[in-house]
Each structure stands twice: as structure tokens, then as C-alpha cells.
Amino acid sequence: MGDQWAGSDDELARAVLDSSPNAVVAVDRDQTVLVWNEAAERLFGWKAAEMLGRRAPIVPAELTAEHNAALERVRTGGQVSVRTKRLDSAGDLLDVRVDISALRLGSAVAGYVCVHHLARADQVAKTRMARRARLVRRLTDVVGDINSDLELSAVLDRISASLTELTGADAGGFVLIEGERLRLVSTYELPDDLRGTTTDLRTSLVDRLLRTGKTVLLESSGLDDLVWARLKGLHTIALGLAAVGGRPYGALYALFARSTPGHLELELLELLAGHAGIAVGNAVAYQEAVRQRAHERAVFDASADGIAVLDEAGRVVRWNPAAAEITAIPEETVLGGPPPFPLPEPGEKLTFQLETGRWLDVVGARIEETGEVVVDFRDVTRAKELEEAKDLFLATTSHELRTPITIVRGFASTLDARWDKLGDLERRAAVHTIAERARSLGQLMDHLLLGARAGADELKVSIEEFDLADRIHAATLGLPVLSDRHRVEVAIGDGLPRVLGDALATDIVLGQLLENAFKYSPKGGLIRVEAWPEDGRVVVVVDDEGVGIAAPDRERVFERFVQVDSGDRRRFGGVGLGLYIVRSLARAQGGDVSAQPRPGGGTRMRLVLKGAGTIGSDTPMR
């Protein structure tokens, strides 16, 4: 049976073991068989040669926790006698009683000695088994109760409370393993201020439990320095390891101050710890699912794009806030019905105009697992308008360029072909016409260049003090002779404050505003320019008695390439850049320009510039 039994004393010991009527099995701390006597061969059916040096397969899987708990109780002192079941070599269950004691070499526990014999139906055994059955049934109820709650903190509290009921412990707690630290997250019958306590894993009982490879540990020495000592009269701690997904997650502590745990209590602790790992795993998974749904909901709600989710029948089941805003259809109206637009083919984009006039780009994707369709759509009305405006701009620009070029080409050809046949006055008139048309072409090109620079935010202006009254007088000088149908008035009070800005840019602004006043009042009338100080700024207004601007278009006229169709303004031509350049130049100086209705009809263009005393204001300057 091994070299341990050499010499006469060893022979005597071997003879005693072989003569014993009970099956004696000795194992080391890893439960490797050291001794397997003849009675064990008879009882279990395996020869000693088959068992020595390996684990004996005699403990049924469902009783492994009971067996481990009994060994742990023996290791800490005392003996255990238990009526239980064991397997023989044929796989049959044997009803046995096992007496377990420590195998000691000196003062050290080297293993365990298990003495087996067929059980007798005594009242003590019946009572113990009945109690175990009752507690295991109660454990089943407790586990069901624990698993009914998916809130992690509530699950942990229920586990701690159930622990004392099942094991007879006086108090309990649950600690989480957080890297190299432990944190007490749940307590029962302990002071509330203990919650949240942390400690080093390496100096804890949990570390000892992990290093032994066991699932339960019983400890009754060195407890005074532990946080659990807050329980008056504490003399024994039992702890069981809870694993989630096969990895240690935490430990369940049972604290004894009045009673002493037996192997049955350790068995129940181990079983409860195992079920606690499952319950905690379920709660953690649920919390992660809740967090993931909350994240998805936040993304869904915060998206600037409209998002709709359709079921297999094409009915809307989700409709985010942006979808309601873009379509002007609230969620409660659209849910349960089809979306207010057709769906594109998979992988394609559909551009669709709603009844409100808004244009949408719509794309969709099918979720194969659920059959649902996720539809994403965004408002492209502005882009659509800009595209149309650019098309109109190209057509208008071509027209605006063609007219003067045709005239210049015609007069130049006439001069080239008939120079000698034309009189001096005719030649001068032709050259004058060519010069005027060339000036118009140059002005058009200047507008295009300024518009491009303004669109790229590259307008360069200087900010310096200048006399705005002088610039207004210079801009209006000579205007009365340009048209016999218009009257020009300039009303500037004495002492108009000087302004900060760019004098040349302001000349362009004033010139364009005055040109528009003449252009959009084809029947003539009064053109009035007025200026006054107001709240540290200087206001200039240019009034005309022309066709006016409809209210919805008073902001749009300042956009690039926009030529509004309302009123009679559209018939006056142009590339739609003049007022865009005006506003860009005004804002580049820290000012602004706006279109307003003139009392009595017509248009009022209001230009605001910074007064010379407003240096250091918050108005951005570029």
C-alpha cells in the first residue's frame, strides 16, 4: 500500500486496517487516496491498486458540496459523522455512514481519514436527514425568491438575509472582488456604516479561500482584527465563494457569535454561494441590458436625423423626437400606422418631398433577426433650395454675361468693319457703349469674386475710425441726375458720430443699397437716406417707394444666389449676390444689415455700424 508502511509498526498498522470490518479510506488534502483497505475493496468494488494515487470516484456529484463542507469542518477541529450516499464500481448508490477525522502528521493536518460502513436506520440519522431535506427545500424557495429580483443591490441584500436563515448564522455579508480590493456591498444584522468598507484582497480570508482552490472556508482564529469583529461575541466565520461566468465575483460571509456551524451549515453555505453567483450573474446581465437600452435610447432620442423603426407589417413602432420635428407629425399620431413617406429599396436612397414642402433623404436597413426595418431620414430642404439656387444662378449669370458681351462684340465688329464709314460722333457713341458694357461686366465679376470670398469666410476688412457722413454724401453725390423719375433726399443731422470699420467696404455697401433702391422702384419716387446715432452705434437707412419685399423673404434676400419670386422683384434680373455681399461686408465690420417694410410702401434697408467709442465690445471682428 505504499512505502509509508515499512517496518514492524507499519506491518501492524497494515494488519489492523486489513482486519477492520469498516471501509477505511485515507486521502491527502488534495483528496488523493493514500490508504484503501480490504473492507473498502469489498464495499466499493475497486482494488487498492486501482485507487492509490488517484481520487476515488465514490462521492455522487449532487453530494460534492456536502463532502467538501465535512472535510473543511474536520480541518478546523473535531470529527464529522454523516449518513449519506456513496457510489460503488457498478454505479449503484450505497446508503452509508461516514466518520471523518483529520489525518495528522505532528501538529499539521496532512489529509483525512474516512471510515465507511453501511448505515443503520437509527433515529438520529433520520432526524439529521430530515433536517437537511427541509433546509434544502427551503434553499430552493430562497433561491427562487432571490432570482425573482433583478436589481443587483436588492439581490445582494436578499442573499445576505437568507444566509442567516439557512445556516443559523448571527449575521452575514457579501463582498465584491474588485481587482486587488474587496468591497463590502451588503450586510445583514450588522451596523449600516460597514457598507462600502474596502480592504486589501491579499490579506483577506477570501484570498486564502482562492489560494486553496476550495469553495468554502471555516475560520475561528485571528478574527479580532477583522471588520467583522463589530459583531459582539464573534467566534467563527464561514465564507463561500460566489462565481459569475466561471470567475470569482465575490464571497458570502456567515458570522457566528452564539451557535457553532456544522458540516450541514457549511454545505448550505456552499450551495447558497453557488446559487448567489447565478443570481448575481442574472442581475448583472439585466443591469447591463438596461444600461445598453438606455444608451441606445439616448442615441435614438438625441439624433439630429429622424429615425423610425417599423415592424414586419411596415407599421411604425418607434419615432424619435427629430422625426416628429422634421415631419411635423407627433409620435402619438404616427405610431401603429405607415410612415408618411415611401421606403427606398435596401441599399438605396430616396429623396421625397412632404406635403409641407420639406425635402427628405430617406435610407433604410432591415434587421434580419427581428424582421424590423430601421429608417433614417434627414431634412435636405436647404440643400435642395441651394442646388436650385445655384442652377438659377448659373442660368442668370449666363444671361447677365451674354447681354453685355453680345453688345460689346456687335459694336466692336461694327467699328472694325466700318471705321472709315462712321462719323466721329458715331464712333464715340460706339466706344462709349463698349466702355459702359465693359464696366457692367467688371462690376458683375467684382460681385462674383466678393460672393466667393464671403462664402469662404475670406473677406478681409480693416477696422479703423472714419467719417460715415462723408461716405454717405460721396455715395449719393450725382444720384439725382441718374433718373428723372426719382428724387433723392439725404437727412444727416450735425455731429453724426464717427464709426469703426472699413471705409472702402462701407462704400460698396452704400452703393449696392442705393443701386437696389433705384432698381426696385422702376416707377420712380423718393429715395431717402437718413442716419442717426443709437445706443453706441450709428444707424443708416435707405428708403424707397418701390415693389417691396414680402415678409417671408426679408431674410432670404441676404442668402447667396437667392432671387425671390414674390412680388415683382424677380423680373429685375441679377445673380442674387448683391445683398449677400452687403450683409457679409457689414458683419465683417462688426455691424449688420436687415430688410424692413417702409411705412407707406416700399423697402427700408437698415445698416448698423459700430460707433467709434465702442472699441473692446464683444462684437466679433474679422
Amino acid at residue number 51: M
Q: Select the highest-mean-pLDDT range: 59-73, 409-423, 550-564.
A: 59-73
Which ranges of 121-247 does DSSP label H, i.e. alpha helix?
123-147, 152-167, 205-212
pLDDT of residue 54: 94
Beta-bridged to residue 86, according to DSSP, are 94
> pLDDT for 544-581, tens place per residue?
999 898 888 888 888 866 655 444 434 444 545 678 77
Mean pLDDT within 417-422: 83
Q: Which of 456, 449, 445, 528 is nearest to 492 (CA)?
A: 528
pLDDT band, residue 358 (cuts 50/70/90): confident
> pLDDT for 1-53, tens place per residue?
444 444 567 788 888 888 998 999 999 999 999 999 999 999 999 999 999 99
| 607 grid coordinates | 445698416
pLDDT of residue 579: 83
Q: Select the highest-mean-pLDDT range: 13-27, 255-269, 433-447.
A: 13-27
Point out the least confidently predicted range of 229-233, 581-585, 591-595. 581-585
Q: Which of 7, 6, 28, 5 is nearest to 17 (CA)?
A: 5
- Could you give the CA distance from residue 614 to residue 211 in angstroms, rounded to a whole number? 77
pLDDT of residue 405: 73
Helix (H, G, I), strand (E, B) or coil at 336: coil
Across the chain, mean pLDDT equals: 81
- Could you give the CA distance from residue 198 to residue 196 in angstroms, rounded to a whole number? 6
- Could you give the CA distance from residue 545 to residue 525 in angstroms, rounded to a whole number? 6
> pLDDT for 504-538, tens place per residue?
778 878 888 988 898 888 888 999 999 999 999 99
Amino acid at residue number 288: E
Assess whether pLDDT exceeds 80 at residue 496.
yes
| 314 grid coordinates | 411596415
> pLDDT for 196-243, tens place per residue?
899 999 888 989 888 888 888 888 888 888 888 888 999 998 888 888
CA dist 306 to 303, 354, 378, 383, Å?
Answer: 7, 14, 6, 17
Assess whether pLDDT exceeds 80 at residue 354.
yes
pLDDT of residue 115: 95
Mean pLDDT within 91-111: 91
